[in-house]
Structure 1
Amino acid sequence: MEKIFSYNVDIDKTAYMNWRTRPHQPIHDMMIIADGYMKAAIMLAHDCLQGNMDKKADIVVFPILFSANHAIELYLKSINWSLNMLLNEKESFCGGHDIRQIWNTVKKRMISFESDKDQRKQFKEMTKELDDYILELYDKIDKDHNANAKMKNMDFSRYPFNTDDEYHFYIENYGNEVVDLEMFVKVFKKIGDNLNCIAGYYEEMATFVPDYD
């Protein structure tokens, strides 16, 4: 068998893992990978919308949601890291995979850094869809067996059960649990664009090096 990690004769059929990443720029690299996961989620959902006669959406919805949530996690961690640098905090970013917890940390850091009310208002407006999605998502997760857990592992889209072998909400619930793919694409295009913009803004501020020449 030919090797997977190898060049294709056609450059457009070759994926370069290091063309967009940069050595010694970890925040930038997190943003690049976040962008990849977000694009993958939207592309998968869009592909299902082009034709779903085989009902493939019923299985690819899991990698769609995993990719979308992981993109959010990486974007928020990159923003968290940049804000921590700007605030001279010792830690890089909030650990774990609980995007609600990371999101709450990011909001606190933003308020600590941004004293201007207009900046805070713009941040809130640009993250409205994200905030709404996290509220909707956790309305599902918090009804799961891990409702009292301090940190959610976001593993519902990776495994049908949690670490205690208890089913997640979509299996435990006898009613249908569904995702509107058209709405998903519409909302996540906006979430992705805005998070990318915010992450880039703070990363540029945090890593800016004055030119004294």
Structure 2
Amino acid sequence: MNKFYKENDDNFYLNAILNYRLDQNDEKINLSVMADGFFKASLILIRECIEKDTLNDKDVVIFPMIFCLNHGIELYEKSIIYYLNDILDNKDTYKRGHDIYNLWEDIKKLRNKLDIEELSALGFEENEEYFLEKTKVLEDYLKETTTLNTSTCLVKNKKKLYLKEITSFDFPRYSKNSRGENQFYLKNKNNMFIDLENALTIIENIYSCLKDLSFYYADILEALNERYTEGF
């Protein structure tokens, strides 16, 4: 049997190149490229299910579909945090972990630290009303997903027991969370439906939102670097 990681010598166009679009020296770009791939995978899966509405695999494919959506969100968020930290000249990169709601909250905090006058001088306008409108679908999805996946647990710390709310985003990967509890959809005695056409609209909106934000902050960083270079 042939190796998995090998080139198709017969037809170049039947090759995928793992490192073709990546940059060894720029993790911001790499995160954005990989995020783009996960979003596209999610969209390909959901469109396939909608177009072939008799497909019996919908109830199985929904898990990698949601995983690709959430992981795409996570990678774009981490890329945007990288850009914002570079714009603000922070030494941080991004926080570890997979909590896409907290990562989004970090983005909003960093955004509030931007120098509006400096951005305006570079030709970039920060409009709060437009930002809230642009990110509403993403914000709603993050809140809904967080609510479904947050449970109160008894935690022991330094010989003390206390109640703590814990959110886990591993529900598309495992039927039980890290504490061995059933995921929210298994706790539900009734069928838990996902309207695929509605989900497609939401995924497309979130994809466009995060992609645009990533490009926007990349453009700001480039403009700042050009101004800095011109100053010497």
Q: TM-score, normalised by structure 2?
A: 0.83
1:70 Cα deviation (Å)? 0.4
Bigger relative contact order (CA 8 A; separation at least 6): 1
1:31 Cα deviation (Å)? 0.1
Compared CA separation, residues 72 and 129, structure 1 to 2 (3 A): same
Structure 2: gaps of 5 or more residues: 118-124, 155-162
In 1, Cα distance between the equivalents of 2:134 and 2:27? 24
Counterpart amino acid of residue 140 in structure 1: L
Query: Which residue of 123, 139, 144 maps to 1:136?
Result: 144
Q: TM-score, normalised by structure 1?
A: 0.90
Counterpart amino acid of residue 143 in structure 2: L
RMSD across aligned C-alpha pairs, in angstroms? 2.2
Asked whether the equivalents of residues 80 and 213 of structure 2 are also in contact (C-alpha less than 8 Å), the reply is yes
1:178 alignment counterpart: 193
Superposition pairs of residues 1-213 of structure 1, within 5 angstroms: 1-8=1-8, 9-113=10-114, 115=116, 118-142=126-150, 148-150=164-166, 152-207=167-222, 209-210=225-226, 212=230
Structure 1: gaps of 5 or more residues: none
Number of residue pairs the alignment of both structures matches: 212
Counterpart amino acid of residue 67 in structure 1: C
Asked whether the equivalents of residues 28 and 203 of structure 1 are also in contact (C-alpha less than 8 Å), the reply is no
- 1:77-117 Cα deviation digits (max 9, x unpaired): 11111111111222101221000110111011111115378
Q: Tell which structure's C-alpha radius of gyration is larger.
A: 2
Asked whether the equivalents of residues 171 and 177 of structure 2 are also in contact (C-alpha less than 8 Å), the reply is yes
Compared CA separation, residues 82 and 118, structure 1 to 2 (3 A): closer
Asked whether the equivalents of residues 99 and 169 of structure 2 are also in contact (C-alpha less than 8 Å), the reply is yes
Counting aligned pairs with the same residue, the percent is: 30
1:20 Cα deviation (Å)? 1.2
Using the TM superposition, name which of 155-164 and 108-117 deviates more.
108-117
In 2, Cα distance between the equivalents of 1:111 and 1:178? 37
2:120 alignment counterpart: none
In 2, Cα distance between the equivalents of 1:174 and 1:123? 39
